[in-house]
Amino acid sequence: MRVITKAHRRRALRANLQKRKPPRFRVSGVTAAITALQEAEVLDLSLEGALVEHQGMLPLGSPCFLQLEIDDQRMAVECRVVHSHVSRRGGGGALYYQTGLQFCHLSRGAEQSLGALIRSYGATEG
């Protein structure tokens, strides 16, 4: 029987870290965000934002991207969460949220594509 001590594990971990290419370094004081893709149903859409329904809460004020498919083209729009609340409980007790998203930094091309999509649902220029 072999006894593995904490010191032995630390040496093995250091050896594994040194073999990696490119090398990795321990850091501190660095913040990051991880966003997971999740499916959402678009309920309302305007040139200023969207109302979507999805599972999983999004914190108020948090940045996110809304990926839309328009005419077989995908477009990712940078957004900010302006409100979010539980809208219903699905199968198995899963919570669904309705979240209001405000578009940020909408490019001219994205604005034109969104405008065309909105007009296709019967909206008129105002």
Segment 110-125 mean pLDDT = 79
CATH number 2.40.10.220 is the correct assignment for the domain at 35-120: yes
Mean pLDDT (the chain, rounded): 80
Full-model pTM: 0.69
Which two structure tokens, joined as six digits, stand for 13?
Answer: 């971990």
pLDDT over 80 (residue 106): yes
pLDDT tens for residues 74-85?
888 899 999 999
pLDDT score at 15: 64
CB 95 within 8 A of CB 86: yes
pLDDT over 80 (residue 67): yes
- Report how far residue 72's alpha carbon sits from residue 106's, in angstroms, rounded to the nearest whole number: 19
**Domain spans of the chain, in order of start:** 35-120
pLDDT tens for residues 29-57?
665 555 667 888 999 999 999 999 999 88
Half-sphere exposure of 12 (CA within 13 A, CB side): 6
